Amino acid sequence: MNRRFFEILPGALSWATIILMFLLSRFTPTAVAFFIILFDIYWLLKTIYLSLHLRATFAKMKESLGINWFARLPEGWQDIYHLVILPMHTEPYEVVKESLDSLMKSNYPKDKMIVVLATEESGGDAARKTAETAEKEFGGTFFKFLVTAHPANLEGEIPGKGANETWAAREVKEKIIDPLRVDYKKILVSVFDVDTQIFPEYFGRLTYVFLSSKNNLQAIYQPIPLFLNNIYQAPALARVVSFSATFWQMMQQSRPERLTSFSSQSIPFQTLLDIGFWHTNVVSEDSRIFWQCYLRYHGDFRVEPLFYPVSMDANVAPTFWRTMINIYKQQRRWGWGCENIPYLLEGFKKDPLISKRKKAYWSFSILEGFHSWATYSLMIFALGWLPVILGGKEFGYTLLSYNLPQITRLIISFSMVGIASSAVLSFVLLPPPPVWFKVRHKILYVVQWLLVPVTLIFFGSIPAIEAQTRLMLGGRFRLGFWVTPKHRM
């Protein structure tokens, strides 16, 4: 089996499932009816299971936010340097300033922090002026402050975050780390989206976990992304999508055996050197980095959950419909993480040092994860009525046909307990409200969770299917990197 087969596999599985939904509903409606009842019960149990993980992570995160981690650091923290890379394109200075302000206000010695504002040459004068303003305001705040400019149109690269990060990391190695002879093993690299704002104890918590962990060079340290910076500017659908992404990452933190890297993250500099930095020809570099490391260390690698958050932007544009389009594009880009499937499976074929158990576990997990992302929502909301519509008169006269919609509706209603807990937690996580936030807005922020079925299908299944289909077709259908526009009202 070659790489092309592995590229076709996830899309083929998803489309086969969708086609079989219709065919089996037409020709074996009774079997499909029993299947969907069992599937809905499985979904109910899984919802309860994941809700318990969500509550467990929330409790740990709340506890972590109340601790002065810098005061708890063990001996040896003085040797640790934090390299912060902020890749940017044409984001407004206001967004960049907010992130740099949060670094400046953190409860950690600034003389242990190296900050790199990684601009793109393709960003033109706007990016250059933003960088100059940032350097003028913050250049003397940290141990070192460096502005880099990733050249456009380098051969073999896909223009995007991964290529920019790699250029920036190599530049800071050449211009700062090597001349000062800083120990690579004592540098933690935090790669943040340029809208990422840290909470005061982030570097204290990160350093504490790093120094307390065994085999600490063979791990990525993952915070919880809270998409809250501009949450009060976001329409209801955007809020639900943003909170859903946060809650999924929170659930995964309590399941570290399934946790992979996502968005903003921290990694030892020595580890980056071992793998040759981020791949520059992929779109999903933030998840690919985990698989690069996993294969490089022959399966002896993990993502270490921090149970501590960072705050990022919700996806907001100047108009409602532009926001909807941008959310879809962002979800499609996240769904393009399926490009890691052929990379991983091909890597497993070539590496005899990774155990068969680990290969089987991760092969199933990554395939099942992308398959469920693309199909489960459609199965939940379609299979309850497809057999009734397509099953023919004979099935239509059966008691099972009459009761199927009621049974599935009842089971799905029970699963709303997960949505209810999400609604409660979303309120707890909200930052202090603006003065215009009244009682009617609070009611709206509860009612918005009724939009979950819409978000699961139109901003979940459909963009995931499109991404997998593009990978399956290959060639000109492959996705390039799309920068999520940052906006402030």
The answer on pLDDT for 143 being more than 90 is yes
The predicted model gives 287-295 an average pLDDT of 98
| Domain stops at, among 319, 349, 369 | 319
C-beta of residue 119 within 8 angstroms of C-beta of residue 88? yes
Quick: pLDDT tens for 419-448. 777 888 888 999 999 999 988 888 888 889
Strands 197-198 and 302-312 turn out to be antiparallel
C-beta of residue 335 within 8 angstroms of C-beta of residue 468? yes
The strand ranges marked E within 294-426 are 302-312
**Residue 67 domain flag:** no
Q: Are residues 436 and 309 in the same domain?
A: no
**Residue 242 domain flag:** yes
C-beta of residue 267 within 8 angstroms of C-beta of residue 289? yes
Quick: pLDDT tens for 293-339. 999 999 999 999 999 999 999 999 999 999 999 999 999 999 999 99
Q: Are residues 108 and 132 in the same domain?
A: yes
The answer on pLDDT for 182 being more than 90 is yes
**Residue 339 domain flag:** no
What gap in Å lies between CA 131 and CA 135, rounded to an integer? 6
Q: Are residues 82 and 230 in the same domain?
A: yes
Quick: pLDDT tens for 18-73. 999 999 999 999 998 899 889 988 988 888 899 999 999 999 999 999 999 999 99
Q: Are residues 168 and 86 in the same domain?
A: yes
Kindly calculate the radius of gyration of the chain based on its CA atoms and give it in whole angstroms: 24
**Residue 342 domain flag:** no
pLDDT of 388 reads 83
Q: Which residue has the tokens 């790669």?
A: 191
DSSP state of 233: G
pLDDT of 367 reads 97
pLDDT of 19 reads 96
Q: Are residues 281 and 303 in the same domain?
A: yes
Quick: pLDDT tens for 272-281. 999 999 999 9
Q: Are residues 309 and 364 in the same domain?
A: no
Tokens of 240: 């639900």
Q: Are residues 365 and 314 in the same domain?
A: no
| Domain stops at, among 292, 319, 346 | 319
Give the bridge partners for 119, in sequence order: 149
Q: Are residues 78 and 204 in the same domain?
A: yes
What gap in Å lies between CA 358 and CA 366, rounded to an integer? 12
* Number of domains making up the chain: 2
The answer on pLDDT for 483 being more than 80 is yes
Q: Are residues 214 and 264 in the same domain?
A: yes
| Domain stops at, among 319, 350, 371 | 319
What gap in Å lies between CA 460 and CA 438, rounded to an integer? 31
Burial class (CB in 10 A: 0-12, 13-18, 19+), 57: buried
The answer on pLDDT for 416 being more than 80 is no
pLDDT of 1 reads 63
pLDDT of 387 reads 86
pLDDT of 309 reads 98
pLDDT of 190 reads 98
Closest listed residue to residue 379, CA positions, set 463, 451, 456, 449: 456
Residue range of the domain that includes 206: 73-246+253-319
Closest listed residue to residue 359, CA positions, set 304, 305, 298, 303: 298
What is the rounded average pLDDT for all residues in the chain? Answer: 93
**Residue 190 domain flag:** yes
CATH number for the domain spanning 101: value is 3.90.550.10
Q: Which residue has the tokens 């079997």?
A: 31
Q: Are residues 470 and 406 in the same domain?
A: yes
> CA angle, corner 440, sides to 438 and 441, nearest 5?
70
Q: Are residues 375 and 241 in the same domain?
A: no
**Residue 422 domain flag:** yes
pLDDT of 248 reads 95
Q: Are residues 79 and 168 in the same domain?
A: yes
What gap in Å lies between CA 38 and CA 41, rounded to an integer? 5
What gap in Å lies between CA 112 and CA 204, rounded to an integer? 12
**Residue 352 domain flag:** no
Tokens of 124: 């033109």
The predicted model gives 134-146 an average pLDDT of 96
For residue 153, what are the contacts with CB-CB under 8 A and spacing of at least 6?
Answer: 159
Quick: pLDDT tens for 329-372. 999 999 999 999 999 999 999 999 999 999 999 999 999 999 99
**For 30, what's the count of Cα atoms within 13 Å in the CB-facing half-sphere?**
6
The predicted model gives 134-142 an average pLDDT of 96
Q: Percent of the chain beyond pLDDT 90?
A: 78
**Residue 335 domain flag:** no
Q: Which band of pLDDT confidence, cut at 50, 70 and 90, is reported for residue 95?
A: very high
The predicted model gives 79-85 an average pLDDT of 98
pLDDT of 358 reads 97
What gap in Å lies between CA 94 and CA 98, rounded to an integer? 6
Tokens of 257: 């055996």
The answer on pLDDT for 411 being more than 70 is yes
